[in-house]
A and B are shown apart, each in its own frame.
Chain A
Amino acid sequence: MTGPTSPISQDVLLGVEQLSKSFGNVRALRDISLWLPRGQITALVGDNGAGKSTLVRVLSGVHQPDHGRVTFAGQPVRFADPQAARLAGIETVHQNLALVDELTVWQNLFLNRELVRRLGPFAVLDRGAMQVKAREMLARLSVNVPPVRAKVQRLSGGQRQAVAIARAAGWGSKLVIMDEPTAALGVQETARVEELIAGLRAEGMTILLISHNFEQVLRLADRVWVLRSGALAGGRLTTETTGEELVGLVTGAIAG
């Protein structure tokens, strides 16, 4: 086993122990053990096919692990579906953002969590309340605020990312998983989204950041885990590593 030894005194929000997951003959994850300290940004890096996405899908309830265990907020958990993970407090911002272009910003923020008020025997949408709350959720991010009544279709890439992140962070969630949040963005928008992520940590949110951009990882994250061919290649504190070392761990030039 490589990487720093298990944290004894550190406050761990999510722990993974000896997790394995296979698809047919493909062993996508092999004996993965890692943890996410509460209130920090932890990065997950690795080459394409290293198992990052599979691990994220296990943590967000899309896949179920074959072996091993996951503990969340001190409790062993096993999520049957994404809804179960969401209810436990794990939100995922997918790479495609999972927004509906034809709906407005506030409708997207509240999709499947709509506020309703009783009107006789019927439950009708409380549009006013949702718009007010949507402004509140976006204002909290304080950067790059899109108008809540605009259709998502009309937003820029960074604004769309902001909406997706606001939705993930806005529901009393404890952990937000972000899959390549800046992969499709330009320089300025990347900077704004990074600002936004740093802002969430300042509020005490725990974040798992999947990124291909090592500079970004070193800039934003507190800790980084490296996956290679489905196994853990190493774990580092970002203050104690370099981009070169990370590249070495990802490619296998450094044994970890």
Chain B
Amino acid sequence: MTTDIQTEPERDERIGRPRVLERLVVRPEIGALIGAIVVFLFFSIVTDQFLTTGGVAVWLDDAATLGIMAVAVSLLMIGGEFDLSAGVMTASTALVTAIFAANVGLNLWVALLLSLLFALAVGLFNGVLVMRTGLPSFIITLGMFLALQGLNLGVTKAVTGTVQVSGVASAPGYESVGFFFASTFELFGTQFRVSILWWIAFTAVAALILVRTKPGNWIFAVGGAAQSARAVGVPLVGTKIALFMTTAFAGWLVGNINVLRFTTVQANQGIGLELQFIIGAVIGGCLLTGGFGSAVGAAVGALIFGMARQGIVFAGWDSDWFMLFLGVMLLAAVLVNNALRRRAERVRR
């Protein structure tokens, strides 16, 4: 073997060197980025408040908790699975923390830890069940969704006699825990929520893992071609279970950001949010079939959500219009992504 590795091997004449624009266009998050710019410009022009620092703080805050979940769900979807229990999970984890802190009287840090253990156990259960049975995660996590929903209401009623848990603010440790999960920081004379920092950090870590580490490669492989991944020795089962647990972990983070901020939690919270997480991930470029997508794209998808939801409020419109907007946005994103992918595939031969 005396091949000179410096010289570029002869290219197949049928495959031209991809141009910069073409490379950009096949990136999964490109559709979401364009959408975000359009929505941003639209509400910046239509409303006065949108572009003020106060306005920015509001829509970033709205996007933050959704964004954390959308990013986790995007990893799971790239890995080829769904989690319909993710929405209710944000309520369950909040309830566990609140009940242990306000009703049992534990230190909030301890309650937080128990809540984390609960979340990871649910994620592990989801993952193990999906991998053991080989059933679609859609159906397994639908079951978990219903079970958690019932558990949230049942346990809350049994413990408090009502459908909400409150009194977290008076629990020991609230000051220090609140600093991490529910404080604000000042920027340009405006108070921003700390949840925004969690969102940015979570997205950055997820994106780095996805495109710069071994497990990131494995996520694409198990979602895109499970049999091939298994054949070259990728730990398929472990990777997928870890993804379910990551989603549950994100549910824990978001649930506790919420409960520490509002200090009460409704037992029926979180229902329906799971679809918003999936929508955020899909707008961000994830395929429903797995193997393709982007964590940054999902964060941008959530940003579109936050901007639109609050932009509609700033504009003084009825919030019912948000659903229309959401539907149009989702369809537009899917159509654009589909067209770009077709184009990318046509270049193939």
Residues of A participating in the B interface, judged by any CB pair closer than 8 Å: 82-83, 86, 92, 94, 96-103, 107, 110-112, 114, 116, 122-125, 132, 135-136, 138-140, 144-147, 150, 153-154, 156, 159, 167, 203
Contact = CB atoms under 8 A, between A and B. Distances in A.
Contact of B220 (A102, A135, A139): A102
Nearest to B5: A136
A114 B216 CA distance: 11
B227 A96 contact: yes
Contacts of B347: 154
Nearest to B12: A146
Contact of A102 (B18, B208, B224, B233): B224
Nearest to B4: A139
Contacts of A96: 227-228
Contacts of B17: 147
A105 B265 CA distance: 49
B12 A97 contact: no
Interface string B291-328: 11000000000000000000000000000000000000
B129 interface: no
A125 B212 contact: yes
14 contacts: A102-B291, A103-B220, A112-B232, A116-B214, A124-B208, A125-B212, A132-B5, A139-B3, A140-B1, A147-B12, A150-B18, A154-B15, A154-B347, A159-B12
Given A94-B231, A125-B212, A100 B9 contact: no
Nearest to A125: B212
B291 A145 contact: no
A116 B209 CA distance: 13
Nearest to A144: B12
Interface of B: 1, 3, 5, 8-12, 14-15, 17-18, 208, 212-214, 216-218, 220-221, 224-225, 227-229, 231-234, 291-292, 345, 347-349
Given A97-B228, A100-B220, A135-B9, A156 B14 contact: yes
Given A99-B225, A140-B3, A159-B12, 20 more contacts: A82-B233, A83-B233, A94-B231, A100-B225, A102-B225, A103-B217, A103-B224, A111-B221, A112-B214, A112-B234, A114-B214, A122-B213, A125-B212, A125-B216, A125-B217, A147-B12, A154-B348, A156-B12, A167-B232, A203-B1
A48 B217 CA distance: 36
Nearest to A87: B233
B3 A136 contact: yes
A101 B224 CA distance: 7
Nearest to B10: A145
Interface of B: prevailing SS: loop
B11 A147 contact: yes
Contacts of B225: 98-102
Contacts of A82: 231, 233
Contact of B15 (A101, A107, A110, A147): A147
A124 B208 CA distance: 9
Nearest to B16: A147
Q: Which 8 A-B pairs have the closest CB atoms?
A: A98-B231, A98-B228, A102-B224, A154-B348, A145-B9, A100-B225, A102-B291, A139-B3
A153 B3 CA distance: 27
Which of B14, B228, B231, B232 has most A Cβ within 10 Å?
Answer: B232
Contacts of B221: 100, 103, 111
Given A111-B232, A123-B213, A100 B12 contact: no
B233 A86 contact: yes
B213 A150 contact: no
Given A140-B1, A145-B9, A147-B12, A111 B234 contact: yes
Contacts of A154: 15, 345, 347-349
A159 B348 CA distance: 12
A54 B142 CA distance: 39
A153 to B, nearest CB: 7
Contacts of A110: 217
A8 B207 CA distance: 58
A145 B9 CA distance: 7
Contacts of B292: 102
Given A101-B224, A153-B345, A153-B348, A112 B291 contact: no
B11 A156 contact: no
A123 B233 contact: no
Contacts of B208: 124
B1 to A, nearest CB: 6
Contacts of B227: 96, 98
B214 A100 contact: no
Contacts of B216: 125
Nearest to A143: B10
B15 A146 contact: yes
A31 B9 CA distance: 47
A135 B214 contact: no
Contacts of B349: 154, 156
Which of A83, A97, A147, A167 has most B Cβ within 10 Å?
Answer: A147
B28 to A, nearest CB: 10
Which of B216, B234, B348, B349 has most A Cβ within 10 Å?
Answer: B348
A130 B251 CA distance: 36
B287 to A, nearest CB: 9
Nearest to A158: B12
A200 B326 CA distance: 56
A92 B208 CA distance: 32
Which of A96, A112, A146 has most B Cβ within 10 Å?
Answer: A112
A145 B12 contact: yes
Contacts of B212: 124-125
